[in-house]
Structure 1
Amino acid sequence: MLATVLSQCITGGPSVPKAIDVHVHAPLPPESGRDVVGEQMARYFRSEPTPRDPEEFYQYYKDRDIIAVLLWVDARTQSDRPQGSNDWIAELVRRHPDQFIGFGSVDPHMGREAVREARRCVEELGLRGFKFHPITQRFEANDPRFYPLWQTISDLGVPALFHTGQTGVGARTPGQSGIKNKYGRPYPYFDDLAADFPELTIILAHPSFPWVDEQLSVANLKTNVYIDLSGWSPKYFSPNLVQYCNTLLQDKALFGSDYPAITPDRWLRDFAEVPFSEEVRPKILLENARQVLKLTG
């Protein structure tokens, strides 16, 4: 059903989604405990109130005609933060396949178990990509120990989305609660990764502050690298980022909100005020994601 809806995005039809939000953190399962880190992030981003109930969350995106790519991060070896699961993401997609696309996550430090779980995510659960957070999962993407995992994802033919730049996790606490932002730097980690796995579709999530120009460089030089624009209000985008999106990266920039930290309402409201060209706007909001997610049928 989702492919049918999306095929109408270019030709027009009775139900044309306004956008694909490629960076949406799904609500936690009902049995999850209190998410202290999530509460800290909401304060840092001054987030607007958002639904936590899964059905209200579904209605939120349905009412806005936005298809949501659901994400979570498996950091089991590094954190005791309440987490979702790949099965939970798959369940949300099963309930509303016309509204949600699911991305899985595995902890790279789990070795062969991570590789097996990656295969299960795609081959059994029907998930369509993977989300990684090198800072909270504490890994260097170009570490050869993780290359069997990247090769597996490449062989599965689905994209891998990586948090890049600094993170708001632990922000404005002593020592940022032990967070080390270096893992989110585009050079050398993701430049190496893209070079060593040219068949792997890589999405560098967020404007990679304070290394945005490095991110733009990697995406411009390597055809298998894309960027998402989540986690920042567009009104704070650097002029260079906007210029690249209007020109060299106009087919490689994707709309993402980083819900619930930033809502699609806030992101789209500010996006309308930034000088993106009229030709490029629909590419960022919809068309580029259709290509990356292989939803062009």
Structure 2
Amino acid sequence: MDISIGHMILAYMEDHLQNQDRLEKEWEALCGYQAEPAACSSAQDKNNAKKNRPNGVLAYDHSRVTLKPENNQSNSDYINASLIMDHDPRNPAYISAQGPLSSTVADFWQMVWESGCVVIVMLTPLAENGNKQCHQYWPDEGSDLYHIYEVNLVSEHIWCEDFLVRSFYLKNVQTNETRTVTQFHFLSWMDQNVPESARTLLDFRRKVNKCYRGRSCPIIIHCSDGSGRSGTYILIDMVLNKMAKGAKEIDIAATLEHLRDQRAGMVHTKEQFEFALTAVAEEVNAILKALPQ
């Protein structure tokens, strides 16, 4: 990263974080933002409605992930997940997905398989205060078959109290092809909230990106509805990746609008938006400190 650009970005972030009035106005403007096009006719189709969480975010028609119906249990092409592009419209950088319901686990693994995915980022505990946030879509041990996808839990490694890493061996039993998929599970981020420490999430992100480096497939990111926590994580990751590639200017609000063009509700609360700014500022600060002065 260019040192002068880094300092400029840091000054911009700190001004935003210190100036609550400015932050409030920016968030109000973001709340009024309308994506165009915003049709969700597939998500609202009566056969697909049961695959969405009650009162959850729906996938837009133009950016939704489409499954191959011939490989699907119910001959459907629908899953509540959205392709998220960064700068290359042909290669989505992320898939932002709803956490699987008990009835959509096979659809989820089909999406993992068909998107060529090797990294899953899970940002929700399975349950919170007795409310189910996501169905456990992997076996506790050994392997389970979900339609034509056999998932074998190879290892589970606890990195720290906030996150763990699981490795799966995924097999398509129709074709006998196999693949290793790594799931990074952040445990302490509660719905509508922010993590206690930006540093912990940034360490988590570093581990995810180290595993992912050099791949051309999208990373699947999910929380419960695939928008609040998922949107916050993607916003942080996208902005920091732009900086690492030498972007000369960064507009976080415009980047969030770009995300909301592709999936509704990305980043739910002002606190989550502020957390994204804080995390970016903290990471830029750390990078600048590590550079030779």
Measured against the shorter chain, the TM-score band is: 0.3 to 0.5
The TM-score normalised by the length of structure 1 is: 0.36
The TM-score normalised by the length of structure 2 is: 0.36
* Max Rg structure: 2
Higher helix share: 1
Higher strand share: 2
Higher relative contact order (CA 8 A, sep 6+): 2
